[in-house]
Structure 1
């Protein structure tokens, strides 16, 4: 029987030292995300109707999968295909394990594969355990973005880039990324659009439709032409407008709302990152 990962956790076998947190990434078909530390907990045999992809941060997890026993040590990536039975528990000498997991649906991964290759197919991960420090950090970064970021463009870009690179580099049918050509015209349209609607919650699909470029390729082409990713450019544009509004003496909370920031604290964090002072400090020093 397939299970949501939340339902696969047997709470009766969890000890006081075990910790687990689930949430759903709303933009991606309510994809389950998991952050956990297991010292006593053992997963019973179960399967998912989604992929299971994540990173072991500390310790080591042992599990049975496709008739074999695997050990995923700290720093490794585990990638399990849908509808495959597996269990999971701390490797005996490890003292437990800490990990972060994401459970993208078959449709989401098919869409990633189609965007990347132009073909209707599914990626599969037969090696199961992967040792790629850079990819592991990228997956952990995506996990954090899905947990904390508010901007659709940031979430969309991270999801598309990270899972596209996971498929291209580590799936059974590895794929050489298409070289980025000269895309000045389409990228100029995307840049102008972000200038015009800087305050809106733009998604990656909006830019892909506008430029008629595949999502992953469009991100790479935008960075080649502009020097920034679409989300980084959107953020820079919002900060520029916010700075001008603050210089005119507008209230910080109003500026945050008008410029598309989630709230005032969001503006504070981003503005200080760019200028070294808070919006309130900038307004006090330079506002008219």
Structure 2
């Protein structure tokens, strides 16, 4: 039986985690974002990859690159089977290495694809002492695999950015739409419409995504799920359970308990 989903983490490398998905039809996502830099490779089949307002069809051999905070989703095409590997690396570690995040969001480079597969194999199989050096070497070499893309005009809107920053800084609070509008200096109707265009989510959806991100970071520390749910701004554990599974295609328990390189769960047995 193909393992549906497995998280990998190692206490010796607390700044990185990985996920292996063997059947992407059973692991579907709502639009969401990550606080970490995310990089993934499609290992079988094809998928619809939405990043911001741009949609791509990605296939085996493609690599996706996702900056922190970028709203995205990646889901099956017409119910077809597909599989992938994802790597999530914390920004403080990348910054300490002097890594400049790439602007490229999708690569068709066979060389990069092969290098990422090698990196995953090294993370799973090499001695712990070697892994951080191998990871650092990969990010030093990453720009060489990416073709520069034509610059696009900036569509940043200062008031929308202010609204998003307000949500991020108050994600654990019981925010109202009126408070977000006041922080952004925008009307309710305009904020909802323009916010979705800018970030791919409504203000409420963005707030929910931020709360899931916070809950994810706290579950990685091993905190009790019910306690994390309330701290993150959810009404109770059931609300966190629904949002977490919708955004990350895993229950909080599945995610929290994946605390070691050898521990894994099939999504079909949660």
What is the TM-score of this pair, normalised by structure 1? Answer: 0.47
Larger Rg: 1
